[in-house]
Amino acid sequence: MSRNYELFYWPMIPGRGEYVRLALEHAGAAYVDVARKPPEEGGGIKNLVAFLGAAEAPLPFAPPVLVDGEVRLGQTAAILDYLGPRLGLTPDSATGRSTALMHQLTVSDLVSEAHDTHHPVGTGLYYEDQKAEALLRARSFRDTRLPKFAAYFERVLEGTGDWLDAGFMSYADLSLFQTLEGIAYAFPNTWARVSSDTPALRAHRNRVAALPSLAPYFASDRRLPFNEHGLFRHYPELDPA
């Protein structure tokens, strides 16, 4: 591809930028992960903060931010909606593009609920400052919210087959995979129970994991491992057996 996208994203923190990276990697798109470049080449935290503090319009709220020439976009769903037709990750029809965005926004809701299990009171507080509330929020996620989302995607896949939009794999499929990977990391016991009741969803996760286009990415250091600084965090007390 002739484009050379720029991705601005906190380095070493597996967050929402991973969803954009997954789409770019699957499509074989040329892109620069700006914050992971050396500071003398315009990378690093200092230069990322300077970029985010610039007054250029449109002004993104927070990373990830995609720059494509004069285009500057924040918000993961908006970035993927923009990239979708350019990377071949949405159907050509307006309905297909809207369907991909609908599924992406539903995935985003699930991501937010998973994140809020360990930060239910405020993102500015440490997990240790809100453990009691986290225990309650995580129980609701395990018992009610995750099963509800999983059942929804199970129904979708039962009706469409391999991918969320029938025979076409979109960026939303990649995002659903990334989310299931994160949930399996953060809530392995809960995921084992939920996935046993959702075979189509479990097969979807395995199908994306086996894509040849992603094998080099999964084997590289570009693929950030989940850790206790990202969206999905494993605290054993939040996921009892």
State residue 1's pLDDT score: 43
The predicted-structure confidence for 70-124, as pLDDT tens digits, reads as follows 899 999 999 999 999 999 999 999 999 999 999 999 999 999 999 999 999 999 9
**CATH code given to domain 94-211:** 1.20.1050.10
Which residues, including other chains, have CB under 8 Å from residue 85's CB and lie 6 or more apart? 92, 97
Spans of the chain below 50 pLDDT = 1
d(CA 71, CA 113): 30
Every domain of the chain and the residues it spans: 94-211
Locus of tokens 């894509």 = 211
d(CA 165, CA 97): 10
Q: CB 73: neighbour CB atoms within 10 A? A: 19
d(CA 41, CA 47): 10
Tokens found for residue 144 = 């009610």
The percent of the chain in helix, strand and coil, each rounded to the nearest 5, is 60, 10, 35
d(CA 46, CA 125): 23
State residue 53's pLDDT score: 83
Angle value at C-alpha 230, between 229 and 235, nearest 5 degrees: 70
State residue 62's pLDDT score: 87
d(CA 119, CA 133): 8
